[in-house]
């Protein structure tokens, strides 16, 4: 565990080459103790790994909530991750993965940590291509494109959190979203996110704003859609910019991440004037610096609909304002 923790502490960002690092861990097997599969989570979401401390149960909490821990004067909720995905740990819950994403801190209890692997995003297959369940965004080919590669299920932590907080108030309050966004005729917002829950939240927000949109499941799907839009636009004597008002992209996505998608857009003369907003559960100054480095027009952490609406309006207004020439 100490080696794994050291690896996390020493990791630098891997955003320039369409790569990621995954922490691999085990949650246990089925009722007969078989099939102890590999699961994974992006290292950028991991703050630290600690041995299982004393957990204080909370009255009337969700069955998969073990309770809370007091870690360096911070009260952190603890989620029984094996229970969430239907596994039974053979040796008990030994470790906590302390995670930070989507403006929240939480701990996931697991049975064992395996290792950290560095992969190309092209070695991560979208969940919709693998018939994965709702709690899995993608399947990672741990050893790359080799025969009999190990496979790890990359968990959709956003969906897990939504499952545990399903009784909260609706995510999008239409009355708070302000006036509708009136895009020019034929223009859409192109959005990309690999999480089922995140896509639903984004769609609800865009619908509440009255914005026309096209939703895609990965950076590669968004890029392919942009190229198809460009071909169709040319047949009308128009450009892709006439058809796409803005791109709203997640960062973590199989096949092509949001950094690479943004870089491709900004370095291609067909698309470079299309504004790009990064909408991600990954936060922190390092990630924001990389977002700026690849040319994104704005960054916002998930998921506050009112803030997203305000940033969309601001970015669209700025992109439609004629620039002064020197």
Q: According to the model, what pLDDT value does residue 167 have?
A: 55
Peptide bond into 309 cis (omega under 30): no
> Which neighbouring-strand residues pair with 76?
69
What distance in Å separates the CA atoms of residue 252 and residue 137, rounded to the nearest whole number?
10
Q: According to the model, what pLDDT value does residue 54 have?
A: 94
Q: According to the model, what pLDDT value does residue 285 have?
A: 55
The tally of CA atoms less than 13 A away on the side-chain side of residue 278 is 28
What distance in Å separates the CA atoms of residue 299 and residue 280, rounded to the nearest whole number?
8
What distance in Å separates the CA atoms of residue 198 and residue 303, rounded to the nearest whole number?
8
8: enclosing H helix or E strand? helix 2-10
**Helix 258-266 with 219-235: angle, nearest 10 deg:** 30
84: enclosing H helix or E strand? helix 81-85
The CB density around residue 186, as the number of other CB atoms within 10 Å, is 13
Name residue, tokens 């939703």. Answer: 215
| pLDDT tens for the chain, residues 1 to 326 | 555 555 444 444 555 567 788 999 999 877 665 667 899 998 888 889 999 999 999 998 899 999 999 998 999 999 999 999 889 898 889 999 999 877 789 999 999 999 999 998 889 988 765 555 678 888 999 998 888 999 999 998 888 887 787 655 556 777 788 888 889 999 999 999 988 888 888 999 999 999 999 999 999 999 999 999 999 999 999 999 999 999 999 988 888 989 899 999 999 999 999 999 999 877 655 555 556 667 889 999 888 888 999 999 999 988 775 444 33
What distance in Å separates the CA atoms of residue 265 and residue 21, rounded to the nearest whole number?
24
Name residue, tokens 């609706």. Answer: 170
> Which neighbouring-strand residues pair with 277?
248, 298
Question: Are 80 and 93 contacting, i.e. CB atoms less than 8 angstroms apart?
Answer: yes
**301 φ, ψ (degrees, to nearest 5):** -80, 145
SS (H, E, C) 133-174: CCCEEEEEECCCCCCCCCEEEEECHHHHHHHHCCCCCCCCCH
What distance in Å separates the CA atoms of residue 170 and residue 224, rounded to the nearest whole number?
33
What distance in Å separates the CA atoms of residue 99 and residue 309, rounded to the nearest whole number?
27
């Amino acid at each position: 565990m100490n080696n794994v923790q050291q690896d996390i502490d020493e990791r630098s960002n891997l955003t320039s080459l369409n790569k990621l690092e995954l922490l691999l861990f085990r949650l246990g097997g089925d009722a007969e103790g078989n099939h102890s599969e590999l699961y994974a989570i992006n290292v950028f979401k991991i703050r630290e790994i600690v041995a299982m401390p004393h957990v204080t149960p909370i009255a009337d909490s969700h069955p998969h909530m073990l309770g809370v821990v007091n870690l360096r004067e911070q009260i952190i909720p603890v989620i029984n991750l094996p229970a969430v995905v239907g596994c039974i740990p053979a040796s008990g819950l030994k470790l906590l993965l302390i995670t930070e994403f989507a403006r929240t801190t939480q701990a996931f209890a697991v049975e064992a940590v395996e290792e950290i692997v560095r992969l190309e995003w092209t070695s991560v297959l979208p969940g919709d291509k693998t018939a994965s369940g709702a709690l899995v965004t993608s399947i990672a080919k741990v050893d790359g494109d080799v025969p009999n590669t190990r496979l790890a299920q990359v968990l959709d932590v956003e969906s897990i959190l939504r499952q545990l907080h399903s009784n909260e108030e609706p995510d999008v309050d239409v009355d708070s979203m302000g006036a509708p966004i009136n895009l020019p005729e034929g223009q859409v917002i192109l959005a990309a996110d690999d999480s089922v829950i995140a896509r639903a939240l984004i769609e609800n927000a865009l619908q509440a704003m009255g914005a026309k949109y096209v939703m895609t499941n990965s950076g590669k799907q968004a890029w392919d859609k942009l190229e198809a839009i460009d071909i169709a636009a040319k047949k009308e004597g128009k450009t892709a910019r006439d058809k796409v008002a803005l791109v709203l992209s997640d960062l973590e996505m199989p096949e092509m991440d949001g950094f690479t998608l943004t870089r491709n857009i900004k370095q291609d003369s067909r698309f470079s004037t299309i504004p790009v907003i990064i909408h991600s559960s990954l936060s922190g100054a390092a990630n924001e610096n990389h977002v700026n480095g690849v040319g994104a027009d704005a960054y916002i952490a998930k998921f506050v609909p009112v803030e997203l609406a305000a940033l969309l309006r601001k970015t669209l207004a700025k992109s439609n304002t004629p620039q002064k020439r020197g």
